[in-house]
Amino acid sequence: MLNIFVCVKQVPDTETKVIPNSDGTFIETSSIKWIMNPYDEFAVEQALLIKASNAGATVTVVRVGGSKDTEALRTALAMGADEAILVEAGDNLDSYMIAKAIKGAIDKSGKKPDLVFAGKQAIDDDCLQVPQLLAQMLDMPSVSVVVGFEMNGTKLNLKREIEGGSLEVYEVDGPVLVACNKGLNTPRYASLPGIMKAKKKPMAQHSLADVGVTDADRRVKYSGFTLPPEKPAGKKFEAMEEGQRAGVVKDVVGLLRNEAKVI
Amino acid sequence: MNFDYSTEQKEIKETTMKFAKDVMIPKASKYDHDATFPQDIIEKAWELGFVNTCIPAEFGGVGFCAVDSMIITESLAYGCMGMNTAIMANDLALLPIVIGGSDEQKKKFLTPFTEKPLIASFCLTEPGNGSDAAGLKTTVKDAGDHWVVNGEKMWITNAGFADLFVVYATLDPALKHKGICAIVIDPKESSGIEVGKPEEKMGHKCSDTRGVRFNNVKVPKENMLGGPGEGWKIAMKTLDHSRPMVASSAVGGAQCAYDYSAKYASERIQFGKPISSFQSIQFMVAEMAMKIEAARLLVTKAAWLVDNHQPNTQLASFAKAYAADACMQITTDAVQIYGGYGYSKEYPVEKLMRDAKLIQIYEGTSQIQRLVIAKEIFSRR
C-alpha cells in the first residue's frame, strides 16, 4: 500500500491587490479570495495520477493555516484525494514552523509516507523553503523544480529544470519528497460528482500544540509590512532640434550616473 | 435567512468559473466567428458533470437542486452565452422527462445521457407559433399500437446533433392547451424526420438552431409523457424550472461584460487620466454592478422556490425579464465604455451584446414575461 502525502497551501487569488493590515503586522486578509497555491495543484495531480495506477494507494493532503476557509483542502478532496489533515494556525508562521507542523501531522496520521509531494514554492511569500526543510525532518531525499516524473516500483526517475532551460535527470530510491513545477502535468478540474463525494471524506483537525509546534520554534519574526514606495514620475527630455541633442545626452548621462547610479 | 452559498455551492462556483475562464473564453470568439458547434467543449463539460444536472441521482445523474444548476449556468454563460445555450438546451429537453415521465421512461431515456455526452432538443415553437405556444399545429394521432406525429417545428436548439427530441403535439388544435401531448422521439428509431439547414443568427452563433419537420413519424405508445393531454402542464412546469436558468445565463453574460468594462475603464487613459475617474463612466459601471446583484437575487429566489416546492411562476418571470433586460443594457453599455474598440470584433464585448439580445427573446420574450406577471397579479383579484 502506497501512502502518498501532499502539502498544500492556501494563498490569495492571483488577482488580489495586496495591502498591509491597519497595524502593519501582516497583510489585510479580510477581503481576500483564497485559492490553492497553483504549484500545489501540480503536486495534487501527480499524486492522483500515481493513485490511479497503484491499487490501494491513498492520497492524504495536509495544510497548515486558518480554519475559516478550507478551500485548498476541499478542492484537493474534490479532485480525488482520499483524506485531509488541517493543522489550525495563524497566517504568519515561518517556513520552519510550517514544515515542523506538517511533519507532526504526518507522524500523527500513523502512516509511513512513501511519497511526499509539494509545490516548489507558494506564490504568496515565495520562500521556497518548506519542501526542503520537511524532507530533512522526514529524513528523506528531496528534488525540487520537478517537471518530469516516472516511477518503477520504488525507483523514481525525476527531471528537474535548471537555468538555461536544460534538464537534470535524477534517479532516486523512494521514499522521496518531490517539489513540483509548472509543466509536470495538467491539473484536473474538480468535477461536480467529485465535489459531492468530497463532503463525505474525512478531514482531521489538529492544533499546533497537537503536532508539537510552539512559539519557541519560530526562526523568523516579521517586523512589519509596508507597501513599496510609489515610483516617482518619469522625466521627459525634449530634443526636437538638432542643436538640443548634445545637451540632452549630457543631462541624461549625468542623471543615470549621479541620480539613478546605474552607470 | 441566509444569503451565503453552502461550502459545496462555493466549490461548484469555483470549479465552473475556472472552466469558463480557462476552457470556454479562449475559444468563444473562434466558435462565434466560425459558427461551429462546440462539441469538444460540451464533452469536457459533460465529463465534469456540468451537463444534464437535472437528472436525478437514482437514474445516474447528480440530481442537483435548482440553485446549484443556477450557479453552474451563470458560470457557463460567463464563459460563452452561445456555448451555454447548447449545454442548457439539453437540460431543457430532459426536464419534461424528469417532470412528467414514469420511472421506466426516466430509466430508458435519461440514463444514456449519464453514460455518454448525448444531445437532446426541446421542440415546442413552430413557424407560426412562438409566444402563442398553445396554438401549436403539430398533430399526434392514435394509430392503434403507435402514435403518428406530423408537423413542423422552428428555432430548435441542438436539432442537427440531437440524439433525442421531446416534441409537443396536439390531438386536436380545437382542444387548445388541453389537447397538447409531450412525446419523446428517438431519431435513430424513427423515419420521416427532416432536419433543416442551420439558421444564420445574430448571436449564439455556435449553438445549432434549425427547423425540424415530422412527416408521418411513427412513435411507440410508451413514448408519451404523462398521458394524452398532459403535455401543456408538463411544458409549463418545465418552463418554471428552466426560466430561472435562462435568467441565470443573463446574469453570467452581464457579469462577464461588467468584468471587462471595470477592467478596461481602469486601464484606458484619456485626458491624462483613466476613464474610470469620469463620472459618466462611473455611473454606467455602478449601474451594471447594481443590476447584476438585483438580477442574481431574483434568480436565486426563483430557483430557491423550485427547490422548496413552492409556486415560482411569478418570480421566474420577474427573474427572466429583469435579468435579460439588464444583460442587454449592461452589454450595450460595455460596448459604449470600450468606444470604437467595443464595436470591433478584435475585442470581446460586441459579441456579448449580440448574444444578450437572444435572452430577451427565447423561452418567453421579455414582453410575455410581463404578461405572465400581470396575469398572476390580476387573476387573484
Quick: pLDDT tens for A215-230.
999 999 888 999 988 8
B65 touches chain A (CB under 8 A): no
Share of residues in chain A with pLDDT > 90 (%): 70
**Which set of grid coordinates corresponds to residue A218?**
519560530
Instruction: Give contacts of A71 with chain B, Cβ < 8 Å.
Output: 10-11, 14
A199 touches chain B (CB under 8 A): yes
Share of residues in chain B with pLDDT > 70 (%): 100
CB within 8 Å: A190 and B64? no
Closest-CA residue to A142 (of A163, A119, A162, A123):
A119
Give phi and psi for B259, each to the nearest 5.
-60, -45
Instruction: Give contacts of A191 with chain B, Cβ < 8 Å.
Output: 15, 47-49
Do B164 and B186 contact (CB within 8 A), yes or no?
Answer: yes
Q: Do domains B7-115 and B232-378 have the same CATH topology?
A: no
Q: In 3-state terms, what secondary structure has residue A58?
A: strand
Nearest CA in chain A to B51: A192
Closest-CA residue to B196 (of B232, B152, B245, B238):
B152
pTM attached to this predicted model:
0.88
Q: Which residue has the cell 458533470?
A: B49
Which whole number is the average pLDDT over B50-76? 93
The per-residue pLDDT for A45 is: 98
Q: Please, what sign has the CA dihedral across residues A18, A24, A26, A31? A: negative
Beta bridge partners of B115: none
The per-residue pLDDT for B335 is: 98
CATH topology of domain B7-115: Butyryl-Coa Dehydrogenase, subunit A; domain 1 (1.10.540)
Task: Give the pLDDT band (50/70/90) at residue A149.
Answer: very high
Instruction: Calculate the alpha carbon distances from B367 to A8, B134, B239, B330, B374 in Å.
Output: 51, 17, 16, 19, 11
The per-residue pLDDT for A53 is: 93
Q: Residue A68 pLDDT more than 80?
A: no
A195 closest CB neighbour out of B12, B18, B47: B12
CATH topology of domain A3-217: Rossmann fold (3.40.50)
Query: Which stretches within chain B are classed as H helix?
Result: 7-19, 25-34, 39-47, 66-79, 81-100, 103-115, 231-267, 279-307, 313-338, 340-343, 349-359, 366-378
Query: Could you say which of 3.10.110.10, 1.20.140.10, 3.10.20.30, 2.30.30.90 is the CATH number of the domain covering B232-378?
Result: 1.20.140.10
Q: In 3-state terms, what secondary structure has residue A262?
A: coil
- Told to judge if B363 belongs to the known catalytic residues of this protein, a careful annotator would answer yes
The per-residue pLDDT for A226 is: 92
Query: Could you say which of 2.20.25.10, 1.10.645.10, 3.40.50.2300, 2.40.110.10 is the CATH number of the domain covering B120-228?
Result: 2.40.110.10
* Distance separating alpha carbons of residues A204 and B140, to the nearest angstrom: 60
CB within 8 Å: B47 and A191? yes
Domain boundaries, chain B: 7-115, 120-228, 232-378
Task: Give the pLDDT band (50/70/90) at residue A1.
Answer: confident
The per-residue pLDDT for A165 is: 84
Residue B3 CB neighbour total at 10 angstroms: 6
CB within 8 Å: A192 and B14? no
A1 touches chain B (CB under 8 A): no
B49 closest CB neighbour out of A75, A191, A198: A191
The per-residue pLDDT for B269 is: 96
The per-residue pLDDT for B27 is: 97
Do A188 and A195 contact (CB within 8 A), yes or no?
Answer: no
Q: Which amino acid makes up residue A212?
A: G
* Distance separating alpha carbons of residues B159 and B209, to the nearest angstrom: 6
Contacts of B82 (CB under 8 A, 6+ apart): B28, B31, B32, B38, B203, B204, B205, B206, B207, B355
Contacts of B58 (CB under 8 A, 6+ apart): none
* Distance separating alpha carbons of residues B212 and B149, to the nearest angstrom: 12
B11 touches chain A (CB under 8 A): yes
Do A181 and A120 contact (CB within 8 A), yes or no?
Answer: yes
